[in-house]
Amino acid sequence: MSLFNQGEKAYLMLANGQIFEGKSFGAKGTVFGEVVFSTAVVGFQETLTDPSNYGLIVTQTFPSVGNYGVNSEDNESDSTHLSGYVAREWCDAPSNFRMEGRIDDFLIKNNVVGICNIDTRCLTRVIREQGVMNGVITTEDVYSKKEELLEKVKAYEIKDAVKNVTCTEAHTYSCENAKYKVVLMDFGVKKSTIRSLTDNGCEVTVVPAYTTAETIKSMNPDGIMLSSGPGNPADNMDIVENLKEIQQLGIPMFGICLGHQLLALANGAETAKLKYGHRGANQPVIDLESGLTHVTSQNHGYEVLCDSIDPETAAISHVNANDKTCAGIRYKNINASTVQVSAAFSYDEFLAMMNKEVK
């Protein structure tokens, strides 16, 4: 590891007034966002391009990022969506046979403002103890503008998250010998989700988040998947009302992450903000039916409240092993099931639901 991370000064200031001094990393400028942390050890490029990170300043808890560089294949979407990026240090001499460039150059190209050489362990502890809070990364002198910036930090809100990341028109991904036709509602879909479906014999048509039940019915799919995505699920009540109609089509439905939360809202449950969210590739989830614990990838800041789920209409199928929050629901009154995670078992369940109908 070189000492290249010794550049221009940069600052991260939290809504509580705490300031972290570091070095500029990626693009220069001033950005506001909600400061969160991810415990993932690898997958920094996927983090940078995950639509679920819209409006966030993401902190990597692993002390070094960029050691295997970046490439053109691992993006989860066609652009970056997060507001800013925080790392302890980055590798300026990466090595990997798939590498096409350095993470710093990737950030500059995509105009992502970052900061490195700060104590990310201290920052993570602050977020864990006090909860996620707004912040600002700037390459300007934060002290001379502290009160002005602090006012903007406190006023910052993530707005129209789904509207800003969803596609504008439908597009289809084919595969050889497709067995199922899937409509994938794009609330901020990741390319890996599409890839997992096509790898399992699904022809996937990605449609905008606001696609109506009538349009979906006319497409005659074998299944409907509700994708992951960013923001507060309760900010999308127009989508929730739409899902109430879509679920009455009787077509097998499967929701992941934000899709899980939105369908819960459509069936009378409630959601709430987690203190610091679940973000990382090592989140343990217990399947209540089998007793198995799955290690899953998660990236969300909200939960479906267990006590708000009507036992007459649905049952909790999975819980997070760490905090016992709801991680999955199986519905009794509609042909639907959802999970709060991205994992292989979730696709298996969706395929089984469609296979039952196709037969």
- Statement: residue 351 has pLDDT above 50: yes
- Statement: residue 357 has pLDDT above 80: no
Q: Which residues of 333-351 are buried (b: 16+ CB within 10 A; e: fewer)?
A: ebbbbbbbbbbebbbebbb
Q: What is the pLDDT of residue 359?
A: 56
- Statement: residue 165 has pLDDT above 50: yes
Q: What is the pLDDT of residue 1?
A: 41
Q: What is the pLDDT of residue 358?
A: 59
Distance CA 113, CA 118 (A): 15
Counting Cα atoms < 13 Å in the Cβ hemisphere of 53 gives 30
**Residues 87 and 106: beta-carbon distance below 8 Å:** no
Q: What is the pLDDT of residue 343?
A: 73
Counting Cα atoms < 13 Å in the Cβ hemisphere of 89 gives 13
- What is the mean pLDDT of the segment spanning 9-27? 97
Contacts of 172 (CB under 8 A, 6+ apart): 203, 204, 205, 206
- Statement: residue 248 has pLDDT above 90: yes
**Domains recognised in the chain with CATH numbers:** 9-158 (3.50.30.20), 162-358 (3.40.50.880)
- Statement: residue 256 has pLDDT above 60: yes
| Average pLDDT of the chain, as a whole number | 94
Residue type, 75: N
272-323 confidence digits (pLDDT tens): 999 999 999 889 999 999 999 999 999 999 999 999 999 999 999 999 999 9
Across-strand partners of 225?
Answer: 184, 254
Whole-number percent of the chain with pLDDT over 90: 93
- The Cα diameter of the chain in Å comes to 68
Q: What is the pLDDT of residue 346?
A: 81
186-244 confidence digits (pLDDT tens): 999 999 999 999 999 999 999 999 999 999 999 999 999 999 999 999 999 999 999 99
Whole-number percent of the chain with pLDDT over 70: 98
Distance CA 27, CA 59 (A): 16
- What is the mean pLDDT of the segment spanning 32-55? 96
Counting Cα atoms < 13 Å in the Cβ hemisphere of 264 gives 32
